[in-house]
Amino acid sequence: MVATLVDRWPEWLPELLDGLWTSIQLTAAFLAVGLPLGLALGVVLSSTRRPVRALAVLVVEAGRAVPVLVLLYLVYFGLPEADIRLGAFVSATAALGFSFAAYTSEVFRAGIAAVGKGQREAARALGLTNPQELRLVVLPQAIRIVIPPILGWAVIFFQATSLAFAIAVPELLSRAYTLGASSFRYLSVFLLAALLYASVSIPASLAIDYLDRRRGPLT
Q: Does domain 2-213 have CATH number 1.10.3720.10?
A: yes
Residue 219 has pLDDT above 50, yes or no: no
What angle, 0 to 180 degrees and rounded to 10, lies between the N-to-C axes of helices 139-160 and 186-215? 170
Please report the pLDDT score of residue 211 as a whole number.
81
Position 1 pLDDT exceeds 70 = no
Q: What are the tens digits of pLDDT across the range 187-203?
A: 999 999 999 999 999 99
CA 127 – CA 180 distance, rounded (Å)? 64
Q: Is the distance from CB of 86 to CB of 94 less than 8 angstroms?
A: yes
Mean pLDDT of 171-191: 95
| E-state strands within the chain | none
Average pLDDT of the residues in 46-63 = 91
Contact between 99 and 71 under an 8 Å Cβ cutoff? The reply is yes
Judge contact between 100 and 64, C-beta under 8 A. Answer: no
Contacts of 161 (CB under 8 A, 6+ apart): 23, 26, 27, 30, 92, 96, 169, 171, 172
Dist CA 130 CA 48 (whole Å)? 12
Q: How far apart are CA 134 and CA 39, in angstroms?
A: 12
pLDDT above 90 for 103: yes
Q: Could you give the 3-state DSSP secondary structure of residue 83?
A: coil
Average pLDDT, integer, range 118-144: 77
Helical pair 9-45 and 50-65, crossing angle rounded to 10 deg: 160
Distance (Å, whole) CA 93 – CA 108 = 21
Question: b/e string for 133-164 if b means 16 or more Cβ within 10 A?
Answer: bbeebbbebbeebbbbbbbbbbbebbebbbbb
The one-letter amino acid code at 201 reads S
Q: What is the mean pLDDT of residues 38-67?
A: 92
Q: What is the pLDDT of residue 136?
A: 76
Q: What single-letter amino acid sits at 75?
A: V
Determine the average pLDDT of the residues in 61-68. Answer: 95
* Average predicted confidence (pLDDT) for the chain: 91
Considering the entire predicted model, what is its pTM? 0.91
